[in-house]
Structure 1
């Protein structure tokens, strides 16, 4: 009987299973398919605006942010008018942030379970009603500190649902490859809304009073709620992108809040992003605080001098949003690289010999931060399975709120001990060292997990029937094979 030898590959490491790749769906609404990956259209920062629903969503985002910043501009002034206490203003901000720290996971779980468009629309309506109620109380001179704190807490509670619902709703309006563009466009709308809101707030308060700013914010929420029903989703909620209907993993099947937290903790990419966010928040990034102290202290500048630095930071943020929108599939490595680069620029800022040098550095610092934020948000909103994304964003909001509350006092203490220059230099070096150490450890861990393939020659005997009959089924022949086994291996003649 003729035989041949065939190498058999044996892996010493259990392979990681993945879902089969499937072709991308045709865009909804009869829109033309995206260009090839190598075309300039795939890299355009505005490519997400090719989708009609995304264009409407961008307009709604701009209107909403304008109203929000109108209210935020006058809110601290309003608290100071009511109480005369800066501490009370800080208390109102903390009261609004506290629900995000404590209830973020519950809000994310609600977004995973409830219809997304309905959830986002209802959240916008409730936020609009809160703003209108505040406007009425201000106009009637009935607003006091306890009521204001209560409204702030209510706003924070609704925001735990509204934040992830609106973020994921925006992603469902475009293909996965265009999510970085959608996030970049949202960042631009945020920056433009901030500038427009601050400018309109001054004019509105001067002509119509403080209540008008809250009224405008309430109207902006209702505008977003009216736009949402007309948006077209590219895929149903809870479905994996590109039609992937693979069976649920145990983590995906667990719809509880605890399941979301366990999934987050077991996802190396998400844990890495949380670590990067923590170290950069605690020792850097709060440039409005650290650079303000540097300008007015060692550089002997004035508050007006810091406006030049603030302008450079704002311009850098816009440039970074445009660059970040050109990303297609960012990885944690890019976020780490930008975090380390921003940290080294922070070190140079701490060593600035003068204001002009600091203004020049502020631009790339803001660019690195903005591109890193876009890459980070893209990973957070696309890396988890669709059925887990609400809870992942909820957990992330809790983590981000924690670092956001802890960072200012940490940096303040660091500046008290080391001075403004020492805090910037030390903080930048700590961030760069932490990123380098994490990258090194990840590289070593990946090297250990690399599969080793061994080729083992295995002799396979193929019987060929020339004449006669094979042994009866169940009876083994001289070579130890049964008739059934021989029949399976026997080639057709």
Structure 2
């Protein structure tokens, strides 16, 4: 992980920004909210995220109503994330080149228009499934630019010291909205139909647009913008390939995102085929997952640090829980397990996200995060139709279990590769009072001669850290 002097190539903030920063990093759960710009951003996002979750629930249920097919829900989800798979890296290049605040104003307005368009089609009774497919694809195109710009704008608001905390609070914000959005969407769909959920989502973007306009630009920690040039996309890929502490978290979220996060397919199918219920139950199950996800995000914010072993361990438990939930004999057992699935799934996501952001040079952070998001959500166009087909043919339980097994296998693979790259081995000690499982160095590290390629240097916290890839992995593991 990049720490210590010289780790960030961004220029020092202006005196105004320095005064606005909150001094040394703290470990309080909500420390990033002391920053005025970030408070505005968070307030706008909680309104918009509520609308986003309402639209997600209404969109899935609308497609299921129009077609009666879990595969159609999978196709809708795939189309929404296909642009990230096809064009995600180009979005990262734009995020590194362009000023992020004006870029976000444009993307938020475009996303508002997609919600309003779907609301008009639904409320007038003209909506057909191909309309939903098209709007989902257009929303995905906007997200290609919005996602890396929004992810990297966080560091401009809070600075490097509070970045891990702010990333965790962003996830908590998203999951807080998930507590409200699905429940409200379920009530609205049952009472007046899906159209009003889409309308609320379109209008909800007024809040983040207002927040961006009200920010004090003099207090932003501006990073160096990358000038236009050839080979910038390849430069970002080469940067990631040279850093194992970036590669393996991205690989892990690719496994989990492609195979383990197909919840719109599985939950809608469980509600319809297993529990023979309606939209309100679908909203309830999503809300219960959000309870667990919110708990995971707040715990991550309180920790304030990102450890790769935590990420891998959470992914292993996440896969096991999905398999267990798939064969839960009763509704409330299934519902309770969704809380735990939400908590461990969010822990994987937040830990990987903050690890990748903090280990990236600011000059290429947009491209690194676009690759991260391309792998995380870009795998959905591959996984969603496949798991939609498996769910239709073999039933929701087999589909859900298959996703859990593949997520578990991916976590084990990444854990072994991280241990190998970091020069670690698994130590098993079953004696009472000892740590039963732990990763320890294979051999004691010999001190490097002064001036060697892996010369030790002082980190911000005063601890010694090697600049070599293996030593970085050992430290963050």
Give the corresponding residue for 1:237.
Answer: 222
How far, CA to CA, are the matches of 1:362 and 1:193 in structure 2? Answer: 17
How far, CA to CA, are the matches of 2:221 and 2:135 in structure 1? Answer: 34
Give the corresponding residue for 2:412.
Answer: 433
How far, CA to CA, are the matches of 1:80 and 1:422 in structure 2? Answer: 22
How far, CA to CA, are the matches of 1:349 and 1:146 in structure 2? Answer: 33
Q: CA deviation at 1:116?
A: 0.5
The answer to whether 1:154 aligns with 2:138 is yes
Q: CA deviation at 1:421?
A: 9.9
Structure 2 length-normalised TM: 0.72
User: Which deviates more, 120-129 or 257-266?
Assistant: 257-266
1:147-187 CA deviation, whole Å, 9 max, x = no partner?
44333322211111111112222332113232232222222
After TM superposition, the structure 1 = structure 2 runs for residues 3-42 of structure 1, keeping only pairs within 5 Å, are: 19-20=5-6, 28=17, 30-31=19-20, 33-34=22-23, 42=26
How far, CA to CA, are the matches of 1:288 and 1:453 in structure 2? Answer: 52
Larger radius of gyration: 1
2:197 pairs, out of 187, 192, 213, with 213
1:277-321 CA deviation, whole Å, 9 max, x = no partner?
234446646577779999999xx9886999997665433212111
The answer to whether 1:72 aligns with 2:51 is no
1:103-128 CA deviation, whole Å, 9 max, x = no partner?
11111111111110000001111122
User: Which deviates more, 182-191 or 77-86?
Assistant: 77-86
Give the corresponding residue for 2:102.
Answer: 118
Segments of 5+ residues of structure 2 without an aligned counterpart are 425-440, 451-477
User: Which deviates more, 331-340 or 367-376?
Assistant: 331-340
2:120 pairs, out of 121, 130, 136, with 136
- The 1:312–1:141 alpha-carbon spacing in structure 2 relative to 1, beyond 3 Å, is closer
The answer to whether 1:374 aligns with 2:358 is no
1:385 pairs, out of 361, 383, 393, with 361
Aligned length, in residue pairs: 424
Structure 1 length-normalised TM: 0.70
How far, CA to CA, are the matches of 2:3 and 2:49 in structure 1? Answer: 42
> CA RMSD of the aligned region, Å?
4.4
How far, CA to CA, are the matches of 2:130 and 2:335 in structure 1? Answer: 42
How far, CA to CA, are the matches of 1:288 and 1:213 in structure 2? Answer: 17
User: Which deviates more, 328-337 or 382-391?
Assistant: 328-337
Q: CA deviation at 1:59?
A: 1.2
Secondary structure class of the residue paired with 2:303: coil
Give the corresponding residue for 1:319.
Answer: 295
Q: CA deviation at 1:402?
A: 3.8
Q: CA deviation at 1:49?
A: 0.9
How far, CA to CA, are the matches of 2:287 and 2:134 in structure 1? Answer: 35
How far, CA to CA, are the matches of 2:308 and 2:49 in structure 1? Answer: 28
Q: Is the 8 A contact 2:83 2:141 kept in 1?
A: yes
The answer to whether 1:333 aligns with 2:309 is yes
- The 1:335–1:129 alpha-carbon spacing in structure 2 relative to 1, beyond 3 Å, is same
- The 1:341–1:165 alpha-carbon spacing in structure 2 relative to 1, beyond 3 Å, is same
Secondary structure class of the residue paired with 2:306: coil
